[in-house]
Structure 1
């Protein structure tokens, strides 16, 4: 929102939320109907309007995903600052301008007969369109843009756009409604002239021109340099005809320079070219890929989780992973992504963070949770993890933390097999179990004397039960097999605090795994606190109980570039396994934590708190 919002700030369909596309649905259905029945009044312009809207959305999304992948790597980065959840929320409505143009296209089609009957292709119309853009459109935009930086208009309108210092491709279209009306009038000039005056317009010329606008808008707002230097060397006048991301980035950091739309020659003519433009361009081109100190290795979970990745839909990624009904409509894309993940043979970067003196990244193994459950996939996935470890070792990364099922006890013995295969590994491999244990232990309310244990046994489960029994807290197991295994892992003295009660569900604190059943939850008393110790959360079925997050911590405000939720966790909450790797890197601890090794639980807990991480608290069902 602008600092002092003016009239026509809000989009008229804002109250409709995600249902705003009902505004064009009747026209899209009607055009398809006319085509299907072979009606005499059907025409290609009317039929292709909605598919063209879809193409624009796909085009923009491709730029968003590509840009986030590149900025995660860090090479050719222009502004090394953070994007936050506030910016993601502000830029969530980037498709409003596509909807606006679609509505106006439909209106013009029904109101102007000439437009409805324009031909599919005319070369002279396409040439004229770009000549008009180079002249009147670029000139008028330059002066309108300068006017927007006058205090009156800037505070009421354009400051909304400039709230994003670090730009993403879609930042280009984040403007108040009134501002977009003016932009549409400007960009409509070539289309109106060619369609109504010279009668040389065509469907192709309009499509190419609008796609050109989207392309240049997205490219210019990337936070990395993408135009190679040789392009300007081969054709020197290009520097006056095409801007670069670094050119426009300076406009967002300096504000009163580099006003041009896509062609910088008006900035040269009127003396508003930033003097550091060429220097920033060359500096950005030379910036190498980041080498972080810590890497967190995770993997995909559900088929729909691909949309929740930072590289996917920004709006979904900024919220905890949940099932959305409209994602079922995208099953072809979901299926394609699963096949691509199956074929793709290596991990990829999804996130880049900065915190204190270190840089951190998150890498994803391109496999889903179901793959980890398949015995015949185990060797292939372990190979992918091993290759990621060796790649990190080669790059000089100091710590790699294994997230989710990448460190399962039955899968790779909590990462122990990688150390056995590579005993001279300099990089430290962390399974994060010690901090997960610490989070669970410190989530138990003070004064608790007994807890109920229910869940699959794991390294974290054994450690938590052992610590509780050692403190004199009674742990009750409701399954005999679990009880017997736990008892064998305890000393004689500690085992006296372990009890078996197959009918006992009266405890107010439950330690639970993801396999906690609905029937078991139904036996809990009102107000019971469910504390997960597993990587995946149990299904929440009780509204009168409290469910904590899986072991996790709230990141400090100084934890940079955190604008996507980690799986099902709330905003700015990250898993204990991921935090463990970051803390190990910050502290410089020269030790592995894999297999049967458990790091000092109290030591890593205190270190985490000292670095600003905090418990995430109780979450109602």
Structure 2
């Protein structure tokens, strides 16, 4: 037996099955069951309405300057509101039960009755509004608030799903508030099917409006028609109820707060201020992580598509596949003309950190003719950050590709007077990768050995007297790197040109994508460390695979509600963390181009000092402390 409704999970939607079946029967000639189809359709439309409003609320690139509470929706709130649609199921069941008990209502009600809209509006104003107002004030009493209404107010940032999240007693009350005008209009002979659709969807629309946390109503409306501000609340008006909780109890009409002497006097002034400032950039981040889309399916892993999906590590989900054609069309439009856009943000140490995205997909970075356009977009993002006053901008994965822009060096050379610091974050990526290597390792096999990261890792390991088999076809590039190593350490760097050379080496560091055939050269028990994007496939069952270099954000991070690609909650790529550390430390240099091997330990210690923690290692010790192998033991 289920102890909670949530224990049913997705099986709760089977409640609709009888209505669908009865509706299908009605379509075959049993007209008395038409109400089943209307219940299912109306429930689907209501769920869609709430989802669309929530999607808009999370389109930060559209509404960032209109947001009322400048805080992100965190994982705790998302989990608490996970079953927000329970009330739709509840009200659908109540409506179906009522129509089943009184079948005459479904037989006489017409499709359209003009007087019905007027009747239901009057009943709403004189019955539903005051009923909700007094019941709402009642729920703010100590007894009912602590046992029921506090659940609704525990969400720090109002969103449409917050409006839908309440206890069963509150949902029953809301059902009565909605049902009285519908039932009353029907009983006096003015009911109609269209009236029910319009009223219920309008009711939900206004509920979403008040909880959207985005001020969408221009202040000029109230300047021209002052009386209108008593007839319709605004998102700002209702947000004050959530932040102060001792005023603004109305359903949709502030008139009742005015009559009940519970109207917050600063509501309309705050609304005017937010509306006037909507065209200004008030929320300037201190740090920006410039990400990019990996592939078409992963492009749907954002909060403004499905908040719940974005709050979990990315993986291909079957129910999301229908969105693929839409994402593909949008990709083409973005390819033609697009700008960098804001996709998420969080607060760390009281400072705003944002993630911007270059609207380019992973495969586009490898098209020769796309190189110029991509660099132009990255450059524009850097210049925009510079104009806004951003302190640090960190480049993700392919945005700092060596062949594309030399790890960001192109932009720093082109704009020598940049105030914003450009950071590729690879120094911390190297530190994380090195920290994962076991203390007893004496030999590693390194692919992507002559890349920025490969070079730094090779030089660091050889200084610790670890033999590095560097896979490369370029002897010149190998020799150049070898000459950078101290004279007594150069012999630990070994040039290899084939994967067969690593058939006895059980520690692989993968910086270049490798196939199943190439992985087969590794001996059983091999562990694959990797800093390649995208990560390699796990073909070998007798080997282990590390994740991409990542770090867990400090515990005091606020407003984080989405996962970064395949990372778990609260975990970001090491290059992202590297940029954040760069800002927190107040470093004034650019971190572009080749890695400074001498800074690997410095950056690592700084990350640990600020509360960042590696994901795959619990010891949290410096890489240099893990490599105390005596040279005579090699």
Between 1:558-567 and 1:532-541, the stretch displaced more is: 532-541
Task: Give ranges in structure 2 of 5+ residues lacking alignment.
Answer: 619-634
Separation in 1 of the partners of 2:357 and 2:318? Answer: 25
Q: Residue deviations 1:132-175, cap 9 Å, x none? A: 11111111111221222233322222111111132222211111
Aligned to 1:375: 368
Separation in 2 of the partners of 1:447 and 1:275? Answer: 69
Task: Tell me if the contact between 1:78 and 1:280 (Cα under 8 Å) persists in the aligned partners.
Answer: no
Q: Structure 1 residues 484, 192: closer, same or farther in 2, change over 3 A?
A: farther
When normalised by structure 1's length, the TM-score is 0.89
Q: Structure 1 residues 266, 587: closer, same or farther in 2, change over 3 A?
A: same
Separation in 2 of the partners of 1:93 and 1:468? Answer: 50
State how 1:157-306 maps to structure 2 within 5 Å: 157-195=148-186, 197-285=187-275, 288-289=280-281, 290-306=283-299
1:589 corresponds, among 581, 587, 590, to 587
State how 1:29-48 maps to structure 2 within 5 Å: 31=23, 35=27, 39=29, 41=31, 46-48=36-38
Task: Tell me if the contact between 1:462 and 1:489 (Cα under 8 Å) persists in the aligned partners.
Answer: yes
When normalised by structure 2's length, the TM-score is 0.87
Task: Tell me if the contact between 1:437 and 1:460 (Cα under 8 Å) persists in the aligned partners.
Answer: yes
Aligned to 1:550: 548
Between 1:235-244 and 1:132-141, the stretch displaced more is: 235-244
Separation in 1 of the partners of 2:72 and 2:184? Answer: 43
Aligned to 1:579: 577
Task: Tell me if the contact between 1:257 and 1:274 (Cα under 8 Å) persists in the aligned partners.
Answer: yes
1:267 CA drift (Å)? 1.9
Task: Tell me if the contact between 2:77 and 2:156 (Cα under 8 Å) persists in the aligned partners.
Answer: no
Q: Structure 1 residues 544, 261: closer, same or farther in 2, change over 3 A?
A: farther
Aligned to 1:540: 538
1:113 CA drift (Å)? 4.0
1:186 CA drift (Å)? 1.8
State how 1:455-470 maps to structure 2 within 5 Å: 455=448, 458-470=451-463
Asked if 1:143 is matched to 2:141, the reply is no
Q: Structure 1 residues 89, 514: closer, same or farther in 2, change over 3 A?
A: farther
1:472 CA drift (Å)? 1.0
Separation in 1 of the partners of 2:465 and 2:272? Answer: 64
Q: Structure 1 residues 453, 25: closer, same or farther in 2, change over 3 A?
A: farther
Aligned to 1:5: none
1:314 corresponds, among 307, 310, 314, to 307
Aligned to 1:434: 427
1:321 CA drift (Å)? 0.5
Aligned to 1:15: 7
DSSP-derived class of the 2:58 partner: helix
Asked if 1:24 is matched to 2:16, the reply is yes
Separation in 2 of the partners of 1:86 and 1:298? Answer: 25
Aligned to 2:112: 121
Asked if 1:613 is matched to 2:612, the reply is yes
DSSP-derived class of the 2:179 partner: helix
Separation in 2 of the partners of 1:517 and 1:484? Answer: 26
Q: Residue deviations 1:1-46, cap 9 Å, x none? A: xxxxxxxx9864x3331233232245336635754xx636388754
DSSP-derived class of the 2:422 partner: strand
State how 1:330-409 maps to structure 2 within 5 Å: 330-356=323-349, 358-409=351-402
1:233 CA drift (Å)? 1.5
Separation in 2 of the partners of 1:166 and 1:117? Answer: 44
Task: Tell me if the contact between 2:113 and 2:192 (Cα under 8 Å) persists in the aligned partners.
Answer: yes
Separation in 1 of the partners of 2:104 and 2:518? Answer: 68
How many residue pairs align between the two structures?
Answer: 606
Q: Structure 1 residues 468, 148: closer, same or farther in 2, change over 3 A?
A: same
Aligned to 2:624: none
Q: Structure 1 residues 370, 45: closer, same or farther in 2, change over 3 A?
A: farther
Q: Residue deviations 1:219-246, cap 9 Å, x none? A: 2112243322211121212222212222
Aligned to 2:508: 510
Separation in 1 of the partners of 2:327 and 2:17? Answer: 24
DSSP-derived class of the 1:556 partner: coil
1:523 CA drift (Å)? 6.0
1:89 CA drift (Å)? 0.6
1:556 CA drift (Å)? 0.9
Asked if 1:471 is matched to 2:461, the reply is no
1:107 CA drift (Å)? 4.4
1:336 CA drift (Å)? 4.4
Q: Structure 1 residues 274, 33: closer, same or farther in 2, change over 3 A?
A: same
Q: Structure 1 residues 516, 268: closer, same or farther in 2, change over 3 A?
A: same
Separation in 1 of the partners of 2:593 and 2:194? Answer: 62
1:570 CA drift (Å)? 0.8
Q: Structure 1 residues 337, 20: closer, same or farther in 2, change over 3 A?
A: farther
1:62 corresponds, among 32, 44, 52, to 52
DSSP-derived class of the 1:475 partner: strand
Q: Structure 1 residues 404, 104: closer, same or farther in 2, change over 3 A?
A: farther
Task: Give ranges in structure 1 of 5+ residues lacking alignment.
Answer: 1-8
1:178 CA drift (Å)? 3.6
Separation in 1 of the partners of 2:317 and 2:385? Answer: 35
Task: Tell me if the contact between 2:427 and 2:595 (Cα under 8 Å) persists in the aligned partners.
Answer: no
Aligned to 2:491: 496
Separation in 2 of the partners of 1:86 and 1:345? Answer: 33
Separation in 1 of the partners of 2:355 and 2:173? Answer: 41
Between 1:323-332 and 1:485-494, the stretch displaced more is: 485-494
Q: Residue deviations 1:402-423, cap 9 Å, x none? A: 1121111122322233334434
Aligned to 2:603: 604
Task: Tell me if the contact between 1:297 and 1:365 (Cα under 8 Å) persists in the aligned partners.
Answer: yes
Aligned to 1:4: none
